[in-house]
């Protein structure tokens, strides 16, 4: 019942010693608890706590943006939404997220399963490692969470209650609204980009058509509440071994458009792809081809799983069987149309995420770890130009193969 206090490696054992589930996981001899702070994200404290008996992750929100410092306060209540998002993801796609052991709302603290030997997927992609089944896992996960969190599946009253619950998460979506959708397209205060990109950036910001389309996607992101999103699904929000993956870190959860998560994730695969020439040697072509195969498999798995759920779990208010199958009519073309909208949205969200990671505040290690800017800038330029093409011309791409073929074209520029 004490007031919020940020943990550190010294205080953690004493402060959490009385939590029954921790004693169960780690044993009650706190002298044997080994605590390391490993948070490398932009916002939170993350501790690995290990003992001879077991291990857990303790994640605690800080009252400010860690990346920037206490000049940018951020509400602690985001831990509440992360906890509720994790429980929903676990229901909607069992086994896809870490198990939750304990939640303390006042301390903004979640204790969860330590995934081992999993590592952050982004690091594996930079290191040139493959993950078996990655595209399939991601596509199925996005489809299950999107479908089962929508009124295609949920009872309307339950869905509306959930939308109302998550509507309290205000400042976190506001970060996305600013950093992702708006800042890249003007000279915003917190922006930074590789200096050699100046001419590319100037041309982008002079494009009013681009800004109009991006703003229409922002309107969708902010007002279309069709399903619960992870909200920040990038390769730093996935942990993998060579054969298995889990999704972590849904503190940006909100109800939003179905194409958002898969679009943002695709952007992160494409950025991994475009950055590879700086990270690989002889195996460059093979590894880049593998990344594109992940993109294709992810969309293929999404569509297959979504269609399967459409046929077997369409129990919500939308497109009811009473209107179609019960009348002897097929709902297949309705499903096709829903999927076509998701695809178009996903491509545009993808292009926007590709832009913000090179132009706005929070960049990614795929490009940032390339120290020589004369090597980094042309690779980022390919990524930015492809993002532009996706936003302007999404409707010219019909299949995942069209998307990966376009990536190959920009990779040659």
**Tokens representing residue 13 in the block:** 């054992």
Binding piece for ligand SR1, criterion CB under 6 A, among 38-46, 142-150, 365-373, 378-386: 38-46
CB 292 within 8 A of CB 374: no
Binding piece for ligand SR1, criterion CB under 6 A, among 1-9, 22-30, 36-44, 76-84: 36-44
249 binds Mg ion per the rule CB under 5 A: yes
- Backbone φ and ψ for 327, nearest 5 degrees, come out as -95, 10
Give the footprint of ligand SR1 on residues 324-363 (CB under 6 A): 361-362
Residue 148 Cβ, how far from ligand SR1 at the closest point, in Å?
24
User: Would you call the peptide bond into 117 cis, given omega within 30 degrees of 0 as the criterion?
Assistant: yes
5 binds ligand SR1 per the rule CB under 6 A: no
**Tokens representing residue 357 in the block:** 């990671």
Residue 41 Cβ, how far from ligand SR1 at the closest point, in Å?
6
How many angstroms separate the CA atoms of 139 and 333, rounded? 21
CB 53 within 8 A of CB 26: yes
Give the footprint of ligand SR1 on residues 201-260 (CB under 6 A): 232
Query: Between 159 and 357, whose beta carbon lies closer to ligand SR1?
Result: 357
Q: Which of 115, 348, 333, 153 is nearest to 239 (CA)?
A: 115
191 binds ligand SR1 per the rule CB under 6 A: no
The gap between the terminal CA atoms of the chain, to the nearest Å, is 59
172 binds ligand SR1 per the rule CB under 6 A: no
Q: Which of 329, 341, 338 is nearest to 307 (CA)?
A: 338
Residue 273's contacts (CB-CB under 8 Å, 6 or more residues apart) are 288, 291, 292, 407, 411
Residue 169 Cβ, how far from ligand SR1 at the closest point, in Å?
13
How many angstroms separate the CA atoms of 80 and 78, rounded? 5
175 binds ligand SR1 per the rule CB under 6 A: yes
182 binds ligand SR1 per the rule CB under 6 A: no
The binder of ligand SR1 chosen from 42, 130, 341, 369 (CB under 6 A): 42
How many angstroms separate the CA atoms of 151 and 143, rounded? 14
Query: Between 26 and 233, whose beta carbon lies closer to ligand SR1?
Result: 233
For residue 179, the partner it binds in Mg ion, ligand SR1, none, with Cβ less than 5 to 8 A by kind, is ligand SR1
How many angstroms separate the CA atoms of 34 and 50, rounded? 5
CB 180 within 8 A of CB 353: yes
179 binds ligand SR1 per the rule CB under 6 A: yes
Q: Which of 249, 2, 246 is nearest to 121 (CA)?
A: 246
Number of residues that bind ligand SR1 (CB under 6 A): 11
**Tokens representing residue 413 in the block:** 């520029």
Contact track, Mg ion, 39-78, x by CB under 5 A: --x-------------------------------------
Query: Between 41 and 378, whose beta carbon lies closer to Mg ion?
Result: 41
Residue 74 Cβ, how far from ligand SR1 at the closest point, in Å?
8
Contact track, Mg ion, 218-247, x by CB under 5 A: --------------x---------------
Q: Which residues make up the interface to Mg ion (CB under 5 A)? A: 41, 232, 249
Residues that bind ligand SR1 (CB under 6 A): 41-43, 65, 67, 175-176, 179, 232, 361-362
């Amino acid at each position: 019942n004490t007031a919020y206090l940020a943990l550190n490696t010294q205080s953690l054992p004493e402060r959490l010693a009385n939590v029954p589930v921790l004693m169960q996981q780690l044993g009650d001899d706190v002298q044997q608890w080994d605590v390391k702070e490993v948070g490398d994200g932009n916002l939170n404290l993350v501790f690995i706590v290990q003992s001879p008996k077991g291990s857990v992750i303790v994640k605690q929100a800080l009252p400010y943006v860690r990346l920037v410092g206490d000049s940018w306060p951020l509400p602690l209540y985001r831990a509440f939404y992360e906890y509720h998002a994790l429980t929903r993801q676990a229901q909607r796609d069992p086994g896809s997220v870490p198990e939750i052991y304990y939640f303390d709302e006042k301390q903004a603290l979640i204790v969860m399963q330590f995934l081992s030997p999993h590592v952050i997927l982004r690091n594996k992609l930079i290191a040139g490692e493959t993950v078996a089944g990655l595209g399939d896992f991601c596509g199925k996960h996005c489809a299950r969470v999107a479908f089962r969190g929508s009124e295609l599946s949920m009872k309307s009253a339950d869905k509306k209650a959930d939308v109302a619950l998550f509507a309290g998460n205000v400042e976190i979506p506001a970060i996305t609204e600013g950093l992702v959708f708006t800042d890249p397209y003007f000279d915003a205060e917190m922006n930074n980009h590789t200096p050699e990109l100046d001419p590319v950036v100037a041309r982008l910001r002079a494009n009013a058509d681009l800004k109009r389309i991006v703003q229409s996607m922002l309107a969708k992101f902010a007002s279309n509440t069709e399903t619960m999103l992870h909200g920040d699904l990038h390769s730093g929000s996935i942990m993998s071994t060579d054969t298995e993956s889990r999704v972590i870190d849904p503190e940006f959860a909100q109800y939003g458009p179905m194409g958002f998560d898969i679009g943002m994730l695709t952007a992160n695969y494409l950025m991994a792809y475009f950055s590879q020439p700086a990270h690989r040697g002889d195996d460059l072509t093979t590894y880049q081809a593998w990344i594109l195969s992940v993109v294709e498999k992810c969309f293929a798995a999404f569509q297959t799983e979504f269609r399967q759920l459409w046929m077997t779990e369409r129990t919500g208010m939308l497109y009811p069987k009473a209107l179609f199958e019960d009348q002897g009519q097929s709902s297949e073309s309705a499903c096709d149309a829903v999927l076509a909208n998701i695809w178009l949205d996903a491509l545009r969200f993808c292009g926007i995420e590709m832009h913000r990671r090179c132009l706005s505040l929070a960049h990614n290690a795929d490009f940032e770890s390339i120290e020589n800017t004369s090597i980094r800038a042309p690779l980022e330029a390919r990524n930015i130009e492809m993002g532009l093409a996706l936003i302007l011309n999404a409707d010219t791409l019909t299949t995942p193969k069209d998307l990966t073929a376009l990536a190959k074209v920009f990779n040659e520029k």
